[in-house]
Amino acid sequence: MNSVEIGRSTAVELARLVRDKDVSPVEVTEVVLQRMETLEPHLHAFCTPTPELAREQARRVEQAIMRGDEVGPLAGVPLGIKDLVSTAGIRTAGGSMAYRDFVPAEDDVVVERLGAAGAITIGKTNVPEFGYSGVGHNPVFETTRNPWNTELTPGGSSSGSGAAVAAGLGPVAVGSDGGGSVRIPAALCGIFGMKPSMGRVPLYPGCRDERYPGFSSWESLEHIGPLSRTVADAALMLSVMAGPDPRDRHSIPCADVHWLDAIAEDVRGLRVALSLDWGYAAVAPEVRSVVSAAATVFEGLGCSVELRDPGWDDPYLAFWGAVAQDSDLAGMRALLPEHAAQMTPHLVDFLQRPWTAEELTAARTARQALSNTMWRFMQDVDLVLTPTVCVPAFPVHMQGPEKVDGRIVPPPAATVALTSPINLTGQPAASVPAGFTAGGLPVGMQIIGGHLADRTVLAASAAFEAAAPWSGRWPGLLDELGL
């Protein structure tokens, strides 16, 4: 295989080639590191590359294979890890000047598991500050760019992970999703991303460290999930990442999900609801059109598709109330006297807001009501389809458009309006590439399953991919650079 073929291979393909000794994990790693040298000046997907660690890990995998040892299912596969996920001995700055020198003492559970499976860590991927945005800029590092148009955002908060996978800087990456942060960059970068059910993939330690107050996960909202070019690659990652761990009190058994088998399941007979805006969101007409056309693919797969909205009120304010409840407000507010002038302005505003008990309890009550409405809605349907993001990718250094389809909206709503309700319910959801705008920008379609129905979401995603494949289309930037 030549370097371009290696760089554009899937994780499933690379793992097989490495196991069969058709390609060396050292060679694969060097190809990806060379691609990083070429592409990073354009994309800035990685805030902390780890080339020497990657080479060391690749050599260990190669030596194990040559000895005839059993190796893990991801042996030799290059992997990016989101810079909100704890990595022992590797800087985890979280896009904040307050954390620019923070080096965690322990790995997150998923980092442990992926490393044990033989994955090669090529670096930490960039994020907005503490993950409080659906975009790719922060006060510390260069702004992450969208491979399809480097003047535009890749989305966020798993911004670097999305851009990296879309550009072939490793076939897979780890993301986390507290309001859409896996699904948003998947949609805007034209790749696959999945938020498994709450508790499927354990989250620990969430970068908690007594030396650095305030840096923590959103315990009731955040899901760890894969970003990949194919559904099969995501299933392979989930087969390693998922499963209970006593360090996460929300973790649940996964015996009912055989991730790699799920992608071969038949979806005929599934009842599908299509909501283009939840009944209230401002969505760009071109996004509506692309997703409407993509939804008809499920009719061809033997599913029934009906245009229906679940009927809840806009939970935008309730979502941010839930974020406030999950945030370490005391710890983060303690950072303000020293660091406020160097922090993202909207984050400072969020932290300085005098949240009242009434606001927080109202948010909790609204969350319960939304979850009950969704539960009742899902009694009649197996899947819900929506656009993933209200708009295509937009220019960097903004939180989102203030005007969408002729309506004034809070800028973050353009990114999180369609995804964040599913963080409030904890259901599984994925974003699949649905098509492209007339200007050549990717549009994502969100596929939502019922409570703990991860298997159905994966099966539906794989069936859609087989009917409307996307992985063969790459950003023009790669061809321009000979990659």
Query: Which CATH number does the domain housing residue 341 bear?
Result: 3.90.1300.10
Q: Rounded distance, CA 111 to CA 88, Å?
A: 9
* CA nearest to 228, candidates 157, 180, 162: 162
pLDDT at 80: 98
| Residue-by-residue pLDDT tens, the chain, 483 positions | 999 999 999 999 999 999 999 999 999 999 999 999 999 999 999 999 999 999 999 999 999 999 999 999 999 999 999 999 999 999 999 999 999 999 999 999 999 999 999 999 999 999 999 999 999 999 999 999 999 999 999 999 999 999 999 999 999 999 999 999 999 999 999 999 999 999 999 999 876 566 665 567 899 999 999 999 999 999 999 999 999 999 999 999 887 889 999 999 999 999 999 999 999 999 999 999 999 999 999 999 999 999 999 999 999 999 999 999 999 898 899 999 999 999 999 999 999 999 999 999 999 999 999 999 999 999 999 999 999 999 999 999 999 999 999 999 999 999 999 999 999 999 999 999 999 999 999 999 999 999 999 999 999 999 999 999 999 999 999 999 999
* 344: its two tokens: 């993202």
Catalytic residue among 82, 96, 159, 471: 82
pLDDT at 213: 59
Domain boundaries, position 70: 3-480
Q: Rounded distance, CA 438 to CA 427, Å?
A: 32
pLDDT at 206: 74
Catalytic residue among 86, 133, 157, 216: 157
Tally of domains in the chain? 1
For the question of residue 3 being annotated catalytic, the response is: no
HSE of 187 in the Cβ direction (CA atoms, 13 Å)?
37
pLDDT at 427: 98
Catalytic residue among 86, 176, 181, 251: 181
For the question of residue 403 being annotated catalytic, the response is: no
pLDDT at 439: 97
Q: Are 148 and 440 in contact (CB under 8 A)?
A: yes
Which sign, positive or negative, has the C-alpha torsion 401, 403, 404, 408?
positive
pLDDT at 254: 80
pLDDT at 214: 59
| Helix runs in 301-387, H state only | 316-326, 329-333, 336-339, 345-352, 357-377
| Amino acid letter, residue 34 | Q
For the question of residue 181 being annotated catalytic, the response is: yes
Q: Are 190 and 154 in contact (CB under 8 A)?
A: no
